[in-house]
Amino acid sequence: MDARRQSEPTPTKNRTTVERKSERELVVTRTFNGPARIVFEAWTKPELFKRWWVPKSFGLSLLSCDMDVRVGGTYRLVFAASPEPMAFFGRYNEVIPHSRLVWTNDEGGEDGAITTVTFEERGAETLVVMHDLYPSKEALDASGNTGGVSETFEQLDELLVTLGASVGRS
Amino acid sequence: MVQYLRARLDASFAAISDATRRGVLEQLGRADASITDLAVKFEMTLTGMKKHVGVLEQAGLVTTEKVGRVRTCKLGPHGLEEEAAWIEGHRQLWDARFDELDDIVEELKRKKRKEKVDGRKKTE
């Protein structure tokens, strides 16, 4: 047992790639150092899912995480926010164990994306591809904005313009 | 993502709170320049200018590239092009998520191995 532990490769951090594949599609890929059934488990068990979906560094707290992972089943995540809690919810359209998940994102009404996640085992690793398909270009454009941050960036931009920093920039 | 962007903004605002650094940004808005050029222009020591450029660089307002013995400064990447900033926002989010997912995958792997070993012990 000890010998085996020593011979294990040190886990290395894999690269996350993000690509805007088309006007309406966002694709995120990442390889994980584990078999597909384990990675899939982390996406489908609420007690595991809630531990990584909201990274600690975000400082957001998740009030509840309910997931009924089966075709037609629903999920609902509620975050602490002011003035009132913020909910994200939708329905699972496809569930193929250890291989594929498709869910809707219904909190944004008609602007919600369809999320498809595939799990592809490659040796001891699993390639995860997350694909968001939005109903329109505008809906995907807006997905990058988180509250006041873009506004603050605009303020900074204006400030830089007044400083003349943008003059002659190619 | 929100926190990351706020940290970046704080750094940006801190960087431009200084008159010399604002001058440097203005200068680089006209043309790229070496640290030596900037030091001469702003009548300060090379070391002093290096410090200012370092602050601007950390805030993402300036990038530098050393070619031979000359370090050239230029504006960037915030203003990142809008598209690049948008992608970067998403990448930060997913990267942070997946780093934590890595930990969970490792934990589950350890757990499964332990179960296997325990199971074997029971059948022995």
A129: number of CA atoms within 13 Å, CB side? 11
Assess A167–B contact: CB distance below 8 Å, yes or no. yes
A17 is written with which tokens?
Answer: 């790639």
Percentage of chain A lying above the pLDDT 90 cut: 49
ipTM, interface predicted TM-score of the complex? 0.73
Domain range summary for chain A, segments of one domain joined by + = 10-137
Indicate the burial class of B49 (C-beta count within 10 angstroms; 0-12, 13-18, 19 or more): buried
For residues A126 and A149, the model is more confident at: A126
Residue A13 CA to residue B76 CA, distance in Å, equals: 27
Q: How far is CA A107 from CA A91, A114, B28, B30, B100, in A?
A: 11, 12, 44, 46, 25
**Residue A147, pLDDT score:** 37
B108 — pLDDT class (breaks 50, 70, 90):
very high
pLDDT reported for residue A144: 58
Q: Which residue has the higher pLDDT, A128 or B1?
A: A128
Please confirm whether the linkage preceding A83 is cis (ω < 30° from 0): yes
A98 contacts in chain B (CB < 8 Å): none
pLDDT (mean) for B78-87: 62
Contacts of B105 in chain A (CB under 8 A): 32-34, 38-39, 42
Q: Which of A16-20, A26-30, A138-142, B8-12 has the lowest mean pLDDT?
A: B8-12
| Least CB–CB distance from B98: residue in A30, A143, A167 | A30
Cβ atoms of A40 and A135 closer than 8 Å: no
**What secondary structure letter does DSSP report for B106?**
H
Tokens 């313009």 label which residue?
A: A161
Taking CB atoms and an 8 Å limit, are B75 and A165 in contact across chains?
A: yes
3-state secondary structure of B54: helix
Chain Cα centroid distance, residue A9: 27
- pTM beyond cutoff 0.80: no
pLDDT tens-digit readout, B20-78: 998 898 888 888 999 999 999 999 999 999 999 998 888 778 888 888 888 899 887 65
Q: Kind and range of the H or E element at A31?
A: strand A25-32
Residues B68-82: b if buried by 16+ CB within 10 A, e if exposed = eeebebbbbebbeee
Instruction: Provide mean pLDDT across the span A119-137.
Output: 94
Question: Given B26, B78, B101, which is nearest A32 (Cβ)?
Answer: B101
So what's the pLDDT on residue B46? 93
Locate A77 and state its tokens.
Answer: 């995540």
Helix (H, G, I), strand (E, B) or coil at B39: helix
The predicted-structure confidence for A68-98, as pLDDT tens digits, reads as follows: 999 999 999 998 877 788 889 999 999 999 9
- Tell me which fold the domain A10-137 belongs to: Alpha-D-Glucose-1,6-Bisphosphate; Chain A, domain 4 (3.30.530)
Spatial separation of the C-alpha atoms in residues A81 and A78, rounded to whole Å:
9
* Nearest-CB residue to A165 (from B26, B96, B109): B26
User: Which among A19, A130, A167 is the nearest to B30, CB-wise?
Assistant: A167
pLDDT at B30: 82
SS3 B35: helix
What is the pLDDT, as a whole number, of residue A84?
80
- pLDDT more than 70, % of chain A: 74
- Provide the pLDDT for residue A169: 42
Contact B9 A153 (CB under 8 A): yes
Closest chain B residue to A161, measured at CA: B26
CB under 8 A, 24+ apart: contacts of B60-63: B60/B8, B60/B11, B60/B12, B61/B12, B61/B15, B61/B16, B61/B25, B62/B24, B62/B25, B62/B28
Asked if A117 contacts A130 with a C-beta cutoff of 8 angstroms, the reply is yes
Q: How far apart are the first and last CA of chain B?
A: 51
pLDDT digits (tens, 9 = 90+) for A5-24: 444 444 557 888 988 888 89
